[in-house]
Structure 1
């Protein structure tokens, strides 16, 4: 390798490393805060998150789908776990009970996912997860994540009101990152997320030195099932189980879109190998209280803007990211990142998901009747997201985790609509009638 080639590889690897960091670090912090975990446990989950994310990226690039795609915490499962953590009191359960049910559901779904890959049931799953179901999923995922990030930007005081100085600071970060993306030129735009986190983190600690999320400790212990020991809370288990399987929607959509970037056709074995790795890591993430993994759809935009299409730098960055989790001082330091800053930066980053959802509808014809196949599931799902979970207490406890989750209910409705209504036939009849 020439000197110039070596420099390009190093810079490319560093850029990948920063991208992975920006998309990963907030997830374990936010889950730990939602379940009120001790600071040393949050630090442990951060370290495990870094180690497992790095390994998952390497394995997917080498033996999974074999593309340079960030494989990290699923946005669907992240939103679901946060929602169930926040809704624990409304469901009449403590955090450990909810967390234990989630762990059981993920473990079972991981086993089923491995079996799907092992016995090659990929085509069966594809018959259920149709293109319109994927579009509904993308729209609802966008709304769910944006709601989470928007609420997380605002610090709430003990009296239940907004901490105005911290909240205004978060809004300033949103404006700053947005301007970088729009007006910053190619280089600053590509690194706007990283710059936003570093600048926001630095100034937050200067302006609000007493508001650090956690304090550093020297503990190296690893805790199994920190969210709660696996139990038989059927409602929580079922919704977690279904959501992990629903997460396969993202795998199919992302791998297919990435193949188009490379101008390739996806082979069934690529789906099969990737889903097998995903199933194995579902077991591991459940044990350490982490959100299950999935290929990141947002990576596609990163690939298109940076042109980093080679696997080498990506694999190197996965190795480096694993080292960040192995070295304790780094995990302790990164655990002090203000949650409000992370949410403000990712609020801007994930606005792009709305564009991905819109692009998924290209070529689809809608009229006043057939628009229901999209509007029905999406608007019903968004409506449920905005109903306080406590209002569903009159519903049987077994059904509450499903009914209170707008994303899950929206996708279930979409699957039924696509399965039992021939929309193409209906569209043809309406056009002929005119």
Structure 2
């Protein structure tokens, strides 16, 4: 590690690292408002407003976490589970005759209730106790399934599928993506540039796209400053199904918070304390309440930050804090937000490819650290097969199921982790006596 959590890098290094954090944060979050806007039938101006709201509150929530929350340089971002539920409920709600805006209004209330759940768990000290459940087998399974669940979108993006509305592989885009990946790998092997490999890869790729004429024009805007507003979708609306689903989703995402802190501890060579787990829970609740008040997709700490630190060997909090202030500024100035939103998605995916491989590496390291006996193979193998297998089941196969079942059992990452927790701590639970004997023999 070149710079630890408490280190203060030189000014130039700090500013470049902050810029890199900003680009990684934007590139990992910018697609969600665009997708939600498309599914909910928003107009371009409304999508732009949702984008700005998202950027501002991502920066604000992340700054609160690194300052007085869990205190790790880990950006908050739209939870994959949340935006997945946003999309599924939009499809189900529309078929039941609900207007998309009504669904958004109910989500706002549901997100705030989920936030209260996080705060209560954090203040009572229960988040820290949950950490005991996340053994290397559970956290390893989570990281492997997370990497596998992301790989389809990453590779599709690198191949140009979906870029500029294309449904086919674009050979030239794919070749450029491979070149960007090679550039980032080469830069990570150079001490002088390793901390900024992702940033350089994105800049070089963006410039090349601009020269080739592949970039989208930046949308003009008449506003200089656009302040964040409350309740993007309108006044909160009570809907038992959506509110209950949101509350249960918040409980499930407690597992994501714990595993993210575990992985971040490994990336920064530190051990998260119980106080950090509980403070992280409280401020994840705060970020959910902010999400509900603003109408953006629910935010959670992103494990991607650990992979960025592992790649760049830069864990200092100072550049990250500056970056989050910068993200808030982006959310205030429409021109900047629209410019960064023009970053070609294949460039972002290609530059971050090696970073995503680090997530898989964390999971494999956890598996390697364990004795591969019959129990470990049964628990880990079953969890991975269930999780990965569910990922291949088409989303349309769950449409006729009750929403709660489709949400819980249609998500391979979530289901795989739940299966692992049940097998590890209930079905094949280790007897304390045998563990004590093993420890005695080891001593």
TM over 0.5: yes
Task: Check 1:327–1:396 CA distance in 2 against 1; reply closer, same or farther (3 A cut).
Answer: closer
Is 1:178 aligned to residue 174 of structure 2? Answer: no
Is 1:17 aligned to residue 19 of structure 2? Answer: yes
| Distance in structure 2 (CA, Å) of the matches to 1:214 and 1:235 | 39
Is 1:63 aligned to residue 68 of structure 2? Answer: yes
Is 1:194 aligned to residue 199 of structure 2? Answer: yes
Cα pair 1:80 1:405 within 8 Å, conserved: no
Structure 1 equivalent of residue 53 of structure 2: 48
Task: Check 1:290–1:142 CA distance in 2 against 1; reply closer, same or farther (3 A cut).
Answer: farther
Structure 1 equivalent of residue 4 of structure 2: none
- More displaced 10-residue stretch of structure 1: 390-399 or 304-313: 304-313
The count of corresponding residues between Structure 1 and Structure 2 is 418
Cα pair 1:381 1:407 within 8 Å, conserved: yes
Task: Check 1:409–1:102 CA distance in 2 against 1; reply closer, same or farther (3 A cut).
Answer: farther
Deviations 1:186-217 (A, max 9, x none): 344433322333333333344455x7287333
Task: Check 1:301–1:403 CA distance in 2 against 1; reply closer, same or farther (3 A cut).
Answer: closer
| Distance in structure 2 (CA, Å) of the matches to 1:49 and 1:343 | 20
| Distance in structure 1 (CA, Å) of the matches to 2:155 and 2:217 | 18
Task: Check 1:6–1:380 CA distance in 2 against 1; reply closer, same or farther (3 A cut).
Answer: closer
- More displaced 10-residue stretch of structure 1: 275-284 or 294-303: 294-303
| Distance in structure 2 (CA, Å) of the matches to 1:289 and 1:40 | 16
Cα pair 2:145 2:387 within 8 Å, conserved: yes
Structure 2 equivalent of residue 133 of structure 1: 138
> Is the partner of 2:146 in helix, strand or coil?
helix
Distance apart, 1:234 and its partner CA: 5.3
Task: Check 1:267–1:32 CA distance in 2 against 1; reply closer, same or farther (3 A cut).
Answer: same
Structure 2 equivalent of residue 392 of structure 1: 398
* Residue ranges of structure 1 left out of the alignment (5+ in a row): none
Deviations 1:149-204 (A, max 9, x none): 3334433499x97344xx33442343123212322323444333223333333333
Structure 1 equivalent of residue 441 of structure 2: none
Structure 1 equivalent of residue 253 of structure 2: 247
Task: Check 1:14–1:248 CA distance in 2 against 1; reply closer, same or farther (3 A cut).
Answer: farther
> Is the partner of 2:112 in helix, strand or coil?
helix
Is 1:292 aligned to residue 298 of structure 2? Answer: yes
Cα pair 1:201 1:338 within 8 Å, conserved: yes
Distance apart, 1:148 and its partner CA: 2.6
Is 1:410 aligned to residue 416 of structure 2? Answer: yes
* Residue ranges of structure 2 left out of the alignment (5+ in a row): 1-6, 439-443
Task: Check 1:410–1:254 CA distance in 2 against 1; reply closer, same or farther (3 A cut).
Answer: closer
| Distance in structure 2 (CA, Å) of the matches to 1:161 and 1:56 | 35
Task: Within 5 Å, give how 1:321-400 maps onto structure 2.
Answer: 321-368=327-374, 370-400=376-406
- More displaced 10-residue stretch of structure 1: 232-241 or 375-384: 232-241
